[in-house]
Structure 1
């Protein structure tokens, strides 16, 4: 399944790119499930991000690798792909796009995911959409 959310913000795309750091990453984590950042190397190709999701009765590890990162005069992007995923995901690819929009920027989260079955793909979609919708006001506040 694919999910795309776009958020306009007030800073230049290069300023926004500089702001994609561990502090922002921690702020973007929704309240549930609580997330502990085990490892955050950054957003460059070859970097690793490792998270521990706490579902209170059990915990799940999520490890992603930054498989691509590029930039030009119009946008900067990086892609994280799931290496070790929680049991409810079988595939994860998230393209983070920071797109120049005049003097401002559009942050685009473009996600491809799969769960163990097509039925759970459709059930998981609104949950995942809500998790990423949570990011929009944070992006706007941080990059105002």
Structure 2
């Protein structure tokens, strides 16, 4: 399944890209489930991000590897791909794309995920969509509304 979200912000796309760091990562964390950062290398190919998600007494690990990073004169992006995923996820690819639009930029969260079956994909979709939609106001608070 695919999720595509866009947030318009007031800063230049390269400035936004430069701020994809641990502080932003933790600011973007949803209130639920509880998240603990175990490792955050950055957003360059070969970097790893490891978190622990906790729901009550149950803890699950999520590890992603940064596999791509590109910068052009109109856009910049990096991709994280799931290596160790919490159930029910079996596949994860998240492209963080920032596009240049003159006086503002648009942050695109382009997510592709899978679970063990299509029915479960449809059940997980609204939960993931809601969690990532909550990033928009955080982006606008940190980078300004455009």
Q: How does 1:10-49 map to 2 (within 5 A)?
A: 10-49=10-49
Aligned partners of 1:51, 1:37: CA distance in 2, in Å?
5
Question: Secondary structure of 2:112's match?
Answer: strand
Question: Structure 1: 5+ residue runs without aligned partners?
Answer: none
Question: Secondary structure of 1:141's match?
Answer: helix
Q: How does 1:1-144 map to 2 (within 5 A)?
A: 1-144=1-144
Deviation of residue 57 (structure 1)?
2.3
Question: Secondary structure of 1:90's match?
Answer: strand
Question: Structure 2: 5+ residue runs without aligned partners?
Answer: none
Aligned partners of 1:39, 1:66: CA distance in 2, in Å?
13
Aligned partners of 2:55, 2:75: CA distance in 1, in Å?
36
Q: Deviations over 1:78-128 (max 9, x none)?
A: 000000000110000000001101121000000000011110100000000
Deviation of residue 18 (structure 1)?
1.2
For normalisation by structure 2, the TM-score amounts to 0.97
Stretches of 4+ moved more than 4 A in 1?
none
Question: Secondary structure of 2:123's match?
Answer: helix
Q: Deviations over 1:22-47 (max 9, x none)?
A: 00000000100010000000001110
For normalisation by structure 1, the TM-score amounts to 0.99
Aligned partners of 1:121, 1:57: CA distance in 2, in Å?
25
Aligned length: 144
